[in-house]
Structure 1
Amino acid sequence: MAILTMIGQLLLALTILVGLHEFGHFIFARIFGIRVNKFYIFFDFLFPLPNVLNFALWKKKKGDTEYGLGWFPLGGYVDIAGMIDETKDASQLSSTPEPYEFRSKPAWQRLFVMLGGIIVNIILGILIFWGVKYYWGEEYYSKAEINKMGIYAHPLAQGIGLKTGDKIIKVNNEDYEGFGDIRASLMQENTYFTIDRNGETKEIPVPNGLIDSIASKVPFMEPIMPFKVGEVTKGMAAEAAGLKEGDKIIKADSIPIAYFQAFQETLKKSAGKKIELLVERGNQTIKLTPTVTKEGTIGFKLDPTLVSSKRTLSFSEAFVTGAKDALGVIPNQIQGFGRIFKGHISAGNAVSGPVGLAQMFGKAWDWERFWNLTGLLSMGLAFMNALPIPALDGGHVIVLLYEMITRRKPSEKFMERTQQVGTFILLTLMVLVLFNDTFKAIFK
């Protein structure tokens, strides 16, 4: 069931993203009077072989356009009349261009048609981030909140010299607003933190290669979190032992518990065994002895009012913050690619395919997480499609800009060849990503 939930979320996100991306091409084609033969979410053939396994899960003809849902769920397409793409080659465009065809239109109109998908994905990403910020608010740990108790340093952070309880005063010798700024700084090169440790100021440099471990989801650091027991999971050890919502755990096996991460450490040490908890419940102090699972849990959620810090945003504030976060994805992607080329991040850790994306959505359906990831993917899709690779929108844009500058239109044979080269590149990348996904799912 958990696997089906992950797959279901991924397919829904791809349907939204691919459908609206292709709609961007479709609507600009319509605006300029270009005929669209097909509009498909997912492929109705075995990509990139347009004549193999041709069938659709659903299709309907309306006007000049056939609308459909394909069976191959790794993309989608619009078949624009008079354009060389993954569905046709130059031999199919040997006749005299018709006025309604893509190839008969001015270069600037063709440019807008090719940019349509990217434009829509950017608008969609901004709208999604706006909606998420307005409806759910924004998780926000201010500098003051972080430095009440300091940061919790996982082993990776300890390895560069950070310690639990350190208070981060500056990032790269500049003031910062919240924990998001600390996370963002890790994408930069030669980052360093200025910390306060028991009244002593120190500078902790962050090695450039550390980002590779963070990209592979190794925990780094987080704000220390005070906590109370939230919802207790039915049928788990916490319920059986008598733990109740609102309880405050003050000791575990005689070890004082001041924050949640310390409790997690104690649970991991007691995995598979009974643990004695000293719990405050109102004016009472009671002892409970649940059995810890092998995974190091006992079965309760945290009281969200103490664990996370969320602020409510007005409609206009949500738009400004959402647009900033959405548009910030693109420079982060550029920085990420730069770090890959410099060898700071391995491509295997930086790139995820269908398996990795499904795992990111999680085993339980969480709408806030779903829309956050969908917004990120929309901006990521816009960036990836803008890359100057033949067969991607960015490759077509480069050719059109060349035509507009030189006033010379490349031959249809040239366009066919570049399309073939681009498709080969994309297929190679697809195979590598799927192999990487499978390897990580099995061995990590």
Structure 2
Amino acid sequence: MIQLAQIIFILSVLVILHEFGHYITAKWFKVRVEKFYLFMDAGFSLVKKKIGETEWGIGWLPLGGYVKLSGMIDESMDTEQMKQEAQPWEFRSKPAWQRLIIMLGGIIVNILLAWVIYTVMYTTVGKKYVATEIIQKEGLAFGEVGQKAGFQNGDKIVSVDGKFQENFNRMVMDILFSEEVVVDRNGEQVKLNLTDEQIGEILDKEGRSFIEPRFHGSSVDSVLIGSQAAKAGLVKGDSIVAVNGQKFKFKDEFTSFLSQHKNDSVSIAVIRNNNEKILKAKTDSVGKLGFLFKSFIKDDFIVENKMSVFEAIPAAIKESWSLLVYNVKSFKLILRPATGAYKQVKSPVGIARALPDTWNWEYIWNFTALFSIGLAFMNLLPIPGLDGGHALFTIVEMITGKTLSDKAAGYVQTAGMIILLTLMALTFGKDIFQLVADKFFQ
């Protein structure tokens, strides 16, 4: 329920402020706003009240929101008023440049919101990120798919497309968007070029966890009930010293050694209560025993940079721009079918499941800023039904001097809404199915 409450709060903030961007610019140019709705009121609304010329309300369908402007074919698909003579207060009566500003008003507010949130965050709790330089001090460890793509345990990332990324989480994303990755391998620089198929396999099987810091792994955190490790007598808190007499410095060295001894008997030396014990165990068909090492804690690698207001403002602008660029790169990745990135697109249901199950204002506001830039980018896309689609037709009109007929505009808007609703149905359906499957089939 807390995850649901968080996503509703975040969506409400974003939708209200986005639509307010359209509302305030429309009022600025003296366009009549007939409706202002949070969520869609298809058929009926939960709450509504008319104040002045505008009906304010909350719809029952949590799919965004809208403002209905007089003299415009929009989500309401109201074409009747378009058959009447144009009035001075209508959207269609205003110059193209004014209509363009009104269409971009929501996007502008979304970008400004992210800027304001980051400015406040940087001056209060500081800019926080997991430092690449610190986290890869001992080198990096890669999953099976990452190693197939050419990475090796112990590699250190030197650059991605010619740049060093100080934020570790961003660096992982950069690698998935990259054309060239340079790693330091035992003092030698090695260049790697990931194919779309390799990127797709990483996204499908390992995600961001395909790359982790290489750390000293010896302490057992948990043992699976009924596993070979449990049968051998391994318990939480044991420190593994050696296997078959061979000592290991890093966790990945241990797992790599076991993977070469599938369905094999091994001798494990552990330290328990300051005493060494020798345990006999047998690996399974993939070379595992059924226990987990104590994991590294990312908080240990976090850098906190608290700023003054004068430092925070440009840093917040830079961060907002950086996120917009990441959205562009993500979209380009989605358009490359071989990567399978389109399978990772999530609806609000999927996003809510990824949110923490405790209320954390710092996380919520950071996520709101991130989501706000994503909403701005999505609405910039030149798709009929989105702000970018309306803006595109207005720009074409400004260049050519020709206006799209009301009939054609109606067809375009209908086509756009069908496309958007189909995409929403697919993403919602995928995430709802996954939710049900996780609840009842595992």
TM-score by length of 2: 0.77
> Structure 2: how far apart are the matches of 1:279 and 1:308?
32
1:252 aligns with 2:242: no
* Corresponding letter in the other structure for 2:369: G
Give the direction of change, closer, same or farther, for the CA distance of 1:131–1:183 in structure 2 (3 Å limit). farther
Counterpart of 1:195 in 2: which secondary structure? strand
> Structure 1: how far apart are the matches of 2:45 and 2:156?
60
1:128 aligns with 2:117: yes
Q: 1:207 aligns with which of 195, 207, 210?
A: 195
Counterpart of 1:397 in 2: which secondary structure? helix
Deviation at 1:259, TM superposition (A): 7.5
> Structure 1: how far apart are the matches of 2:81 and 2:91?
13
Counterpart of 1:148 in 2: which secondary structure? coil
* Corresponding letter in the other structure for 1:363: D
> Structure 1: how far apart are the matches of 2:125 and 2:53?
42
Q: Alpha carbon RMSD of aligned pairs, Å?
A: 3.8
Partner in structure 2 of residue 73 of structure 1: 62
Partner in structure 1 of residue 413 of structure 2: 419
> Structure 1: how far apart are the matches of 2:248 and 2:21?
54
Partner in structure 1 of residue 222 of structure 2: none
Counterpart of 2:177 in 1: which secondary structure? coil
Counterpart of 1:194 in 2: which secondary structure? strand
> Structure 1: how far apart are the matches of 2:378 and 2:148?
34
Partner in structure 2 of residue 334 of structure 1: 328
1:21 aligns with 2:18: yes
Give the direction of change, closer, same or farther, for the CA distance of 1:100–1:169 in structure 2 (3 Å limit). closer
Counterpart of 1:408 in 2: which secondary structure? coil
Deviates more, 1:381-390 or 1:207-216: 207-216
Q: 1:6 aligns with which of 3, 7, 12?
A: 3
Partner in structure 1 of residue 231 of structure 2: none
> Structure 1: how far apart are the matches of 2:425 and 2:113?
28
Partner in structure 2 of residue 352 of structure 1: 346
> Structure 2: how far apart are the matches of 1:26 and 1:276?
70
> Structure 2: how far apart are the matches of 1:168 and 1:400?
45
Deviation at 1:23, TM superposition (A): 0.3
Deviation at 1:200, TM superposition (A): 4.7
1:372 aligns with 2:366: yes
Q: Percent of aligned pairs with the same residue?
A: 36
> Structure 2: how far apart are the matches of 1:332 and 1:80?
33
- Does the 8 A contact of 1:169 with 1:196 survive in 2? no
Unaligned runs of 5+ in 1: 46-51, 230-248, 266-274, 288-294
Give the direction of change, closer, same or farther, for the CA distance of 1:365–1:418 in structure 2 (3 Å limit). same
> Structure 1: how far apart are the matches of 2:361 and 2:197?
34
1:158 aligns with 2:147: yes
Deviation at 1:388, TM superposition (A): 1.1
> Structure 1: how far apart are the matches of 2:295 and 2:336?
41
1:391 aligns with 2:378: no
Give the direction of change, closer, same or farther, for the CA distance of 1:147–1:394 in structure 2 (3 Å limit). closer
Give the direction of change, closer, same or farther, for the CA distance of 1:123–1:225 in structure 2 (3 Å limit). farther
> Structure 1: how far apart are the matches of 2:309 and 2:271?
44
> Structure 1: how far apart are the matches of 2:102 and 2:14?
17
Give the direction of change, closer, same or farther, for the CA distance of 1:149–1:126 in structure 2 (3 Å limit). same
Partner in structure 2 of residue 148 of structure 1: 137
Partner in structure 2 of residue 312 of structure 1: 306
Deviation at 1:66, TM superposition (A): 1.7
* Corresponding letter in the other structure for 1:15: S
> Structure 2: how far apart are the matches of 1:276 and 1:130?
52
Counterpart of 1:349 in 2: which secondary structure? helix
Unaligned runs of 5+ in 2: 220-235, 257-267, 277-289
* Corresponding letter in the other structure for 1:352: K
> Structure 1: how far apart are the matches of 2:163 and 2:70?
54
> Structure 2: how far apart are the matches of 1:442 and 1:348?
21
Counterpart of 2:185 in 1: which secondary structure? strand
* Corresponding letter in the other structure for 1:399: F
- Does the 8 A contact of 1:226 with 1:306 survive in 2? no
1:367-426 per-residue CA deviation (whole Å, 9 max, x = no partner) reads 333222221211111111111111111111111112222222222222111111111111
Give the direction of change, closer, same or farther, for the CA distance of 1:215–1:356 in structure 2 (3 Å limit). farther
- Does the 8 A contact of 2:180 with 2:191 survive in 1? no
Deviation at 1:337, TM superposition (A): 2.4
> Structure 1: how far apart are the matches of 2:150 and 2:295?
31
- Does the 8 A contact of 2:21 with 2:107 survive in 1? yes
> Structure 2: how far apart are the matches of 1:393 and 1:316?
33
Partner in structure 1 of residue 213 of structure 2: 223
> Structure 2: how far apart are the matches of 1:146 and 1:203?
21
* Corresponding letter in the other structure for 1:222: E
> Structure 2: how far apart are the matches of 1:313 and 1:260?
37
Q: 2:45 aligns with which of 33, 37, 55?
A: 55
Deviation at 1:183, TM superposition (A): 2.4
> Structure 2: how far apart are the matches of 1:144 and 1:92?
61
- Does the 8 A contact of 1:172 with 1:194 survive in 2? no
> Structure 2: how far apart are the matches of 1:213 and 1:370?
31
* Corresponding letter in the other structure for 1:84: I
* Corresponding letter in the other structure for 1:367: W
* Corresponding letter in the other structure for 1:312: K
Counterpart of 2:36 in 1: which secondary structure? strand
- Does the 8 A contact of 1:173 with 1:194 survive in 2? no
Deviation at 1:33, TM superposition (A): 0.7
* Corresponding letter in the other structure for 2:140: I
> Structure 2: how far apart are the matches of 1:28 and 1:356?
33
Counterpart of 2:80 in 1: which secondary structure? helix
Deviation at 1:205, TM superposition (A): 3.6
> Structure 1: how far apart are the matches of 2:49 and 2:99?
27
- Does the 8 A contact of 1:356 with 1:437 survive in 2? yes
Deviates more, 1:304-313 or 1:215-224: 304-313
1:311-363 per-residue CA deviation (whole Å, 9 max, x = no partner) reads 33333333333322221222222222222333243254331112211112132
Aligned length: 398
Q: 1:406 aligns with which of 400, 412, 436?
A: 400
Counterpart of 1:391 in 2: which secondary structure? coil
Partner in structure 2 of residue 110 of structure 1: 99
